[in-house]
């Protein structure tokens, strides 16, 4: 986007003092940003991250501000969309506004997700205020509230971020249709390291086919970020104070799914999880990430999903430890970059990403082949939701998701495949899996989830036995000496230990203590199947 008239040089801007004391790691990251450039104006911004949504690209002469419509990437720093909007505003010497459109409902999201999101946005609003950028929380769908905001504030250029999912894409299209023709509208992929439309121009078949393409482009895109700086051009009208608690009354979501305790919302908390991952769990990521008994995962998915932490930042930080933990760093890049960006590619290029018709041909063939197989167990959605199947391992995983909002990645595969086995058809299985995943997982309603459910279900019946065996094998591995069998005092996988009710799907009678399945991670850095009775 550019403006017809000549440009003046913006004043030198600087990073503001943070309202709370920064940690050592945050200081180091901030210094790295400043080394990249004093501000995004001086930074060599890679325009391949940006695409024009509107017809026109010329900023009008009487523009009064630039607006970043924040959707998916709910953070200030390490956000290529925010940076692009500030770059435009700095170049044109205009104030910068940020807005978020709070929709009353989104797919199966509940108050658990909305609270996580809104508390993260409170941090964004605070950071914006410190940077002389006004943050507006608009209640309603963008198509209804954004055009009015644009007209009232004299917005000269609009920037938004990117999601490959159907609904957010429709929101962008709706706004494009309603924007005045002389307001250029640009979209930036701030979620992926290699922008989705650059990584590949078509739907990729598997990790094997996209891996080389991603790795070939990483040197170009996996760069340090410049800082979002204190904006030198103050907004002409300050943002209205936000009545955060009152926002909740505008929501039409289920309030019975409670917030979780283990995950504190917001960028600062997400960065603390990244720090603890690097310090405590990264070393065993390559060897133990498929073992639900071990704390080896990053646990970052809720913060990555809401864009409170940038995956690019996580990779930059993790890569600093390549010398010591090469295999783990490589494995993390494979999950967080290759697998994640493959899921983005799938949803972007496949409009049936959440239905059986969208599955790869081989998966559809396997599903058809086994459509008439006899099902030894059939469960209703309610039985699945309440975790009352005959399988204690599955029930424990399901209940962990219901209570804690996160299931271990390895168990998610087992969980999805069992739903396929216990329902009337692949269509019903997928419908149930998406409903449960989107309703309870903090990281639900994400491309990773749709791909996980579709492809893992689609891997077919043959895989069921293998995954089940492997999941049980992982649980058995710890006390190899004892046979794996349900503990007699356990009911529905619950087991009393030391005054604490602990969820154990299966435990070892002789060792129903610290080594019992899933009981050892209570109170540590991430969710566990352990849970206190209260």
Ligand X SMILES: Cc1cc2nc3c(=O)[nH]c(=O)nc-3n(C[C@H](O)[C@H](O)[C@H](O)COP(=O)(O)OP(=O)(O)OC[C@H]3O[C@@H](n4cnc5c(N)ncnc54)[C@H](O)[C@@H]3O)c2cc1C
- CB closer to ligand X, 128 vs 317: 317
# residues near ligand X by CB under 6 A = 27
Q: Which of 70, 121, 304, 507 binds ligand X (CB under 6 A)?
A: 304
Cα angle: 114, vertex 117, 122; to 5 degrees: 120
Stretch binding ligand X (CB under 6 A), from 86-94, 150-158, 410-418, 474-482: 410-418
Stretch binding ligand X (CB under 6 A), from 101-109, 160-168, 354-362, 438-446: 438-446
Q: According to the binding rule CB under 6 A, does residue 272 interact with ligand X?
A: no
- CB closer to ligand X, 299 vs 423: 299
Q: According to the binding rule CB under 6 A, does residue 143 interact with ligand X?
A: no
Q: According to the binding rule CB under 6 A, does residue 310 interact with ligand X?
A: no
**Size (the chain), residues:** 534
User: What gap in Å lies between CA 397 and CA 412, rounded to an integer?
Assistant: 8
Contact 120, 306 (CB under 8 A): yes
Q: Which of 113, 143, 233, 305 binds ligand X (CB under 6 A)?
A: 305
Q: Which of 77, 200, 293, 301 binds ligand X (CB under 6 A)?
A: 301
Give me the half-sphere count of Cα atoms (radius 13 Å) on the Cβ side of residue 46: 19
Question: Among residue numbers 43 through 82, which ones bind ligand X (CB under 6 A)?
Answer: none
Stretch binding ligand X (CB under 6 A), from 162-170, 235-243, 268-276, 448-456: 448-456
- CB closer to ligand X, 433 vs 507: 433
Q: According to the binding rule CB under 6 A, does residue 340 interact with ligand X?
A: yes
Residue in 460, 510, 509, 467 with CA at minimum distance from that of residue 486: 509
Virtual torsion, Cα 398, 402, 404, 406, nearest 10 deg: 60
Q: According to the binding rule CB under 6 A, does residue 453 interact with ligand X?
A: yes
Bridge partner list, 210? none
Q: Which of 73, 90, 456, 517 binds ligand X (CB under 6 A)?
A: 456
- CB closer to ligand X, 74 vs 301: 301
Q: According to the binding rule CB under 6 A, does residue 335 interact with ligand X?
A: yes
Give, in order, the Cα–Cα distances in Å from 384 to each of 61, 179, 200, 405. 59, 45, 38, 16
Stretch binding ligand X (CB under 6 A), from 49-57, 71-79, 424-432, 451-459: 451-459
> What does the H/E/C string look like for 27-40?
HHHHHHHHHHCCCC
User: What gap in Å lies between CA 227 and CA 470, rounded to an integer?
Assistant: 45
Collapsing DSSP to helix, strand or coil, 287 comes out as helix
Q: How far is the CB of 329 from ligand X (least distance, A)?
A: 12
Stretch binding ligand X (CB under 6 A), from 77-85, 336-344, 361-369, 469-477: 336-344
Q: How far is the CB of 88 from ligand X (least distance, A)?
A: 29
Q: According to the binding rule CB under 6 A, does residue 354 interact with ligand X?
A: no
How is the chain split among helix, strand and coil, in percent rounded to 5? Answer: 45, 10, 45
Stretch binding ligand X (CB under 6 A), from 252-260, 317-325, 338-346, 508-516: 338-346
Burial-class residue 310 by CB neighbours within 10 Å (0-12, 13-18, 19+): buried
- CB closer to ligand X, 25 vs 335: 335
Q: How far is the CB of 440 from ligand X (least distance, A)?
A: 10
Q: Is the dihedral of CA 396, 444, 280, 531 positive or negative?
A: negative
User: What gap in Å lies between CA 448 and CA 340, rounded to an integer?
Assistant: 6
Backbone angles phi, psi at 97, to 5 degrees: -115, 150
Q: How far is the CB of 410 from ligand X (least distance, A)?
A: 8
Residue in 482, 520, 483 with CA at minimum distance from that of residue 500: 520
Q: According to the binding rule CB under 6 A, does residue 297 interact with ligand X?
A: yes
Q: How far is the CB of 334 from ligand X (least distance, A)?
A: 9
Cα angle: 257, vertex 192, 82; to 5 degrees: 85
Residue in 353, 54, 389 with CA at minimum distance from that of residue 196: 353
The residues binding ligand X (CB under 6 A) are 289, 297-301, 304-305, 335-336, 339-340, 343, 409, 412-413, 416, 437, 441, 443-444, 446, 448-449, 452-453, 456
């Amino acid at each position: 986007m550019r403006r017809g008239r000549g440009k003046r040089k913006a004043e030198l801007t600087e990073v503001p003092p943070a309202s709370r004391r920064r940690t050592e790691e945050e200081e180091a990251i901030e210094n790295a940003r400043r080394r990249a450039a004093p501000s995004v104006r001086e930074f060599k911004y890679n325009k391949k991250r940006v695409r024009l949504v509107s017809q026109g690209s010329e900023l009008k002469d009487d523009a009064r501000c630039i607006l970043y419509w924040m959707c998916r990437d709910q953070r200030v720093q390490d956000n290529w969309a925010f940076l692009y909007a500030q770059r435009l505003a700095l170049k044109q010497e205009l104030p910068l506004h940020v807005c978020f459109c709070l929709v009353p409902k989104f797919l199966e999201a509940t108050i658990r997700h909305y609270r996580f999101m809104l508390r993260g946005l409170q941090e964004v609003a605070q950071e914006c205020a410190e940077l002389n950028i006004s943050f507006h929380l608009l209640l309603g769908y963008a198509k209804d509230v954004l055009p009015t905001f644009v007209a009232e504030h004299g917005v000269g250029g609009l920037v938004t971020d990117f999601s490959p999912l159907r609904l957010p894409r429709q929101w962008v299209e709706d706004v494009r249709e309603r924007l005045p023709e002389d307001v250029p509208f640009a979209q930036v992929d701030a979620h992926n390291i290699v922008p989705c439309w650059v990584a590949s121009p078509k739907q990729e078949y598997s990790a094997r086919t996209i891996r080389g393409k991603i790795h070939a482009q990483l040197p170009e895109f996996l760069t340090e970020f410049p800082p979002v700086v204190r904006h030198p051009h103050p907004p002409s009208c300050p943002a209205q104070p936000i009545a955060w608690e009152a926002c909740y009354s505008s929501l039409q979501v289920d309030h019975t799914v409670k917030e979780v305790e283990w995950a504190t919302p917001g960028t600062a908390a997400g960065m603390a999880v990244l720090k603890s991952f690097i310090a405590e769990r990264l070393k065993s990521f390559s060897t133990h990430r498929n073992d639900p008994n071990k704390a080896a995962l990053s646990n970052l998915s809720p913060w990555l999903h809401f864009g409170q932490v940038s995956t690019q930042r996580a990779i930059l930080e993790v890569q600093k430890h390549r010398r010591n933990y090469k295999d783990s760093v490589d494995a993390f890049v494979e999950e967080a970059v290759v697998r994640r960006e493959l899921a983005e590619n799938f949803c972007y290029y496949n409009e049936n990403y959440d239905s059986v018709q969208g599955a790869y041909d081989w998966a559809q063939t396997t599903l058809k082949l086994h459509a008439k197989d006899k099902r030894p167990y059939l469960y209703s959605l309610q039985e699945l939701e309440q975790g009352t199947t005959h399988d204690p391992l599955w029930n424990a995983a399901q209940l962990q998701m219901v209570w804690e909002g996160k299931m271990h990645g390895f168990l998610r595969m087992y969980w999805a495949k069992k739903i396929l086995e216990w329902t009337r058809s692949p269509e019903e299985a997928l419908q149930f899996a998406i409903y449960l995943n989107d309703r309870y997982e903090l990281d639900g309603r994400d491309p990773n989830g749709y791909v996980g459910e579709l492809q893992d279900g689609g891997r077919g019946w043959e895989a069921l036995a293998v995954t089940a065996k492997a999941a049980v094998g992982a649980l058995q591995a710890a006390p190899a000496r004892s046979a794996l069998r349900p503990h007699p005092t356990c009911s529905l996988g619950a087991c009393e230990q030391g005054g604490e009710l602990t969820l154990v799907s299966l435990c070892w009678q002789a060792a129903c203590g610290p080594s019992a399945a899933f009981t050892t991670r209570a109170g540590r850095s991430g969710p566990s199947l352990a849970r206190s009775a209260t």
